[in-house]
Structure 1
Amino acid sequence: MEIEYAEIGGLVVDSSFRRQGIGLKLMEESEGWAKDNGYKEIRLRSGSQRKDAHKFYERIIGYKNINSQQLYKLSL
């Protein structure tokens, strides 16, 4: 089975460089790459604690949250 979408595993811009358009440029380049490679959809993972990033993804560039997950571990 072939993957039907491109996925960004995470995006972080150093706090001293935020709000300068770097994240937007990185996302535009990623979206362009996905389109050029025949993908009809791009997905992005972002930790639940990254509230400011979520606002950026949703309000600024139009991404929609389609899932909510928790990560569990057991130390052995």
Structure 2
Amino acid sequence: MEIKELKTKTELLSAFPVMKQLRTHLDESSYLALVKEAAEKDSYRLFALLEEGKITAVTGFKPMITLYYGRFVWICDLVTAEDSRSRGYGEKLLTFVQEWAQAHGYESTALSSGLQREAAHRFYENKMAYQKASYVFKKDL
């Protein structure tokens, strides 16, 4: 098992089939454009967990500073391939992000999760000891 940062176009595209399971609204070209822009403008980083050379889970995150959270890492994306779930891959990636954040001087990690993703909520709260801190509101413009 290996966790690897994805940087090249080929590496980023190799993660798309797994990411698509979470971000179903994206096609390959919009995914690639958004990842590149987020990396350039917002310090977004994308990592994959590989099992025997195959990407089984991915996470994207970005370091941030706000008055509410202080210095923290926002976990934008975390998904395990459907055929690889319940094997501890999400836990390994989330632990990796937490360790990365701590090693780089950040005080916490945070994420949002869709209201319908009840199994994910149980995972975050019961397995990974995350607490509900707020509601996230969105308005399309």
TM-score range, shorter chain: 0.7 to 0.9
Distance 2:136 2:104 in 1: 28
The unaligned stretches of length 5 or more in structure 1 are none
- The SS at the match of 1:8 is strand
Paired residue for 1:37? 104
Corresponding letter in the other structure for 1:38? G
Paired residue for 1:49? 116
Q: Between Structure 1 and Structure 2, how many residues are aligned?
A: 73
The unaligned stretches of length 5 or more in structure 2 are 1-63, 66-70
Please tell me whether the aligned partners of residues 74 and 110 of structure 2 are also in contact (alpha carbons under 8 angstroms). yes
- The SS at the match of 1:39 is coil
Matches within 5 A, 1:1-76: 3=65, 4-73=71-140
Paired residue for 2:17? none
* Structure ranking higher in strand proportion: 2
1:18-59 CA-to-partner distances (Å, cap 9, x unmatched) read 100000000110001000100011101211111100000000
- Report percent identity of matched pairs: 34
- The SS at the match of 2:80 is coil
Q: CA RMSD in A?
A: 1.6
Distance 2:136 2:103 in 1: 30
TM (normalized to structure 2)?
0.48
**Greater relative contact order, per chain length (Cα 8 Å cut-off, separation 6+):** 1
Distance 2:117 2:89 in 1: 17
TM (normalized to structure 1)?
0.85
